[in-house]
Amino acid sequence: MKKGLLFVVLMISLLTGCTQAEKVSYNLSQEADNFNVVRQLTVINCIEGDVLFQMTGKMSITADTSDNQLEVIVENEDGSYKKHFIGLSDNVTYVVEDINVNDISKYKYTLNYNPKMWIPVEVDTID
């Protein structure tokens, strides 16, 4: 009986075991989704090689592949939340970096747009 039970326990642990990297990945994702990790999201136009915008702060990011978008949730100082949607396409990609910064407020985030992508400006030179 003990050998049978030991065999079952061994088989279950072999089938359900995961690597250390999988455990670490899961734990890091949980920390980020609980707004405990400062992240920097960079959205890039792959055709031109330009950065469309960057967003930095404590945020939860989900890639919604059915809608081709990123869903970004940030927590505000008053306990409310804001959700941002970023559309993705064949020529737009993104990078998310975990940034180890000690002096960032949990309730503040920045969103920086590349001005030349949104405000077309033509300059005329007058002699």
Within its chain, how far is the Cα of 121 from the centroid? 31
Does some domain include residue 16? no
Q: What pLDDT, on the 0 to 100 scale, is given for residue 62?
A: 93
CA distances from 40 to 13, 101, 120 (A): 37, 11, 26
Count the domains in the chain: 1
pLDDT in tens, 7-43: 555 555 555 567 777 777 888 888 888 888 888 899 9
- 59 assigned to some structural domain: yes
pLDDT, position 75: 81
Residue 58 domain boundaries: 34-118
* DSSP state at residue 46: T
Structural domain includes residue 99: yes
For position 61, what pLDDT does the model report? Answer: 93
The ranges of the chain with pLDDT < 70 are 1-17, 100-127
> What pTM, to 2 d.p., does this model score?
0.64
